[in-house]
């Protein structure tokens, strides 16, 4: 298996002319961005707390570091000249500091002094004019794809490391990611801290989301074990899968379906043991009876009802994906590796056997395209024999059911015996990894679950000692 590439790509910085144009059109970009996201400000007032929007005020580039300033969209006190002077002085001081130290790491240490000096010296007596701005230094690309690009950045005011996800707003497609991210907050979901819109020189609108930074993806962490020619410890599988299921149980209780669960979209911290679901670019709040696109979710993790072309599916497709992710952590490679949609189904059949007519009818009653030869399949227990525990195989069998109605839910899966030593906090993790409190339920988090599930999960809550 090919080793993972280290993501240390240098940032792709726009020209200063483009940045200036972007700032000049920032006001119009906000309204354009909102139109692209189908957000109606009149309807956005909700009982749920929402992350507020910020305004792009300006940016400058020096030594391959982009300095970005954002502020309160309602604050009209800052001027273009003040922002430019702020950026110029910050860049000069930051570059000078890095040159003396020979290390980028020390540049953020002087940032607070740089900004304070700038506010005091360049704005005269109006010391509060820029008191509500935030300045970020983005110097590294940590993710890139068809969606856009993700930068690692430093908040020069708080010294916090964040991720900035920049997404092109294509008006041909609905982007629900911001709408969903603004209204969810959970320990196992990457946090949206802020967002702003920007516009390129050719008037393209971009949504920039400032997100919680988590150092690794599950894909990277798993391949780290493979690089050392060792298996992912079953205790680590339990820890990460449980937190992933908890994140899903939370969004599924709101009828939100992620629709792209895969190792690359699960972030992990190998020091504190935390696991967080990210990338809601394909997510959607499902409405019973409403059709959805069937061509969704990365192929290796795509539920069979999607392969069969179902358009009225449920959040059960995410549970299938988690089963595939869990199996991949155990065996060291994807469980079902198909080259095409049909081939993907063939790979599933090799292990699970040919689905019955009744199962196909449940997955998609309108499917009549192809007849499959009757194959018994090797079965999961046989395929995974001597590779993991009986409890792990039993849970995988419950998650990898052809019929979505027979598939275990995320909340039910959290009650499975596979996780008992984890929730009882007697699990044997690697010495370098801390055990987080995975049952620190939020107020109301368990309320929508069935009574029996709720009682079991409530019993897992860590009691004060």
Residues serving a catalytic function are 260
What are the tokens at 221?
Answer: 């962490």
Q: Which position has the token pair 């590294």? A: 140
- Using H for helix, E for strand and C for coil, what is the string for the chain? CCCCCCCCECCCCCCHHHHHHHHHCHHHHHHHHHHHCCCCCCCCCCCCCCCCECEEEEEEEECCEEEEEEECCCCCCCCHHHHHHHHHHHHHHHHHHHHHHCCHHHHHHHHHHHHHHHHHHHCCCCCCCCCCCEEEEEEEEEEEECCEEEEEEEECCCCCEEEEEEEECCCCCCCCHHHHHCCCCCCCECCEEEEEEEECCCCCEEEEEEEECCCEEHHHHHHHHHHCCCCCCHHHHHHHHHHHHHHHHHHHCCCEECCCCCHHHEEECCCCCCEEECCCCCCEECCCCCCCCCCCCCHHHCCHHHHCCCCCCCCHHHHHHHHHHHHHHHHCCCCCCCCCHHHHHHHHHHHHCCCCHHHHHHHCCCCCCCCCCCCCCCCHHHHCCCCCCHHHHHHHHHHCCCCCCCCCCHHHHCCCHHHHHHHCCCCCCCCCCCCCCCCCCCCCCCCCCCHHHHHHHHHCCCCCC
First to last CA, the chain: 46
Q: Which position has the token pair 């003396």? A: 100
What are the tokens at 238?
Answer: 């339990």
User: Residue 199 to residues 9, 29, 176, 316: CA-CA distances in angstroms?
Assistant: 23, 6, 19, 38
81-102 in b/e form (b: 16+ CB < 10 A) is: ebbbebbebbbebbeebbeeee
Cα-trace Rg, the chain: 24
Is the separation of the CB atoms in 410 and 326 below 8 Å?
no
């Amino acid at each position: 298996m090919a080793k993972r590439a280290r993501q240390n790509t240098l940032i792709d910085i726009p020209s200063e002319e483009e940045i200036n144009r972007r700032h000049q059109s920032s006001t119009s970009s906000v309204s354009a961005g909102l139109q692209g996201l189908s957000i109606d400000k009149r309807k956005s007032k909700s009982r749920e707390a929402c992350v507020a929007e910020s305004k792009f005020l300006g940016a400058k580039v020096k030594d391959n570091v982009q300095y970005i300033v954002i502020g309160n969209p309602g604050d009209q006190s800052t001027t273009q000249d003040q922002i430019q002077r702020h950026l110029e002085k910050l860049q000069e001081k930051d570059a000078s500091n890095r040159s003396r130290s020979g290390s980028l790491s020390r540049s953020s240490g002087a940032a607070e002094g740089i900004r304070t000096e700038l506010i005091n010296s360049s704005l005269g007596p109006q010391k509060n004019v820029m008191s509500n701005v935030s300045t970020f230094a983005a110097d590294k690309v940590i993710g890139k794809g068809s969606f856009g690009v993700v930068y690692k950045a430093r908040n020069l005011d708080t010294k916090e490391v964040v991720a900035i996800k920049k997404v092109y707003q294509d008006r041909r497609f609905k982007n629900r990611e911001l709408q969903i991210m603004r209204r969810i907050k959970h320990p196992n979901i990457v946090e949206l801290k802020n967002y702003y819109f920007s516009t390129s020189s050719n008037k393209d609108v971009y949504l920039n989301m400032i997100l919680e930074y988590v150092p690794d993806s599950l894909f990277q962490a798993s391949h780290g074990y493979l690089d050392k020619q060792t298996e992912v410890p079953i205790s680590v599988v339990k820890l990460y899968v449980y937190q992933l299921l908890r994140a899903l149980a939370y969004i599924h209780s709101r009828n939100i379906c992620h629709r792209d669960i895969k190792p690359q979209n699960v972030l992990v911290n190998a020091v504190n043991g935390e696991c967080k679901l990210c990338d809601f670019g394909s997510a959607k709040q499902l409405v019973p009876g409403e059709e959805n696109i069937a061509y969704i979710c990365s192929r290796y993790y795509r539920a069979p009802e999607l392969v069969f072309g179902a358009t009225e599916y449920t959040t059960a497709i995410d549970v299938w994906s988690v089963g595939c992710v869990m199996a991949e952590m155990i065996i060291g490679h994807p469980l079902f590796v198909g080259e095409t949609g049909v081939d993907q189904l063939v790979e599933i059949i090799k292990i699970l056997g040919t689905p019955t007519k009744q199962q196909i009818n449940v997955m998609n009653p309108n499917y009549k395209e192809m007849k499959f030869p009757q194959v018994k399949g090797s079965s999961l227990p046989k395929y995974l024999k001597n590779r993991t525990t009986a409890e792990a195989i039993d849970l995988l069998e419950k998650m990898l059911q052809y019929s979505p109605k027979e598939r275990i839910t995320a909340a039910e899966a959290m009650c499975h015996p596979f996780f008992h030593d984890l929730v009882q906090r007697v699990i044997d993790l690697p010495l370098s990894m801390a055990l987080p409190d995975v049952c620190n339920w939020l107020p109301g988090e368990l309320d929508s679950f069935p009574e029996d599930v709720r009682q079991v999960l409530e019993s897992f809550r860590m009691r004060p000692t």
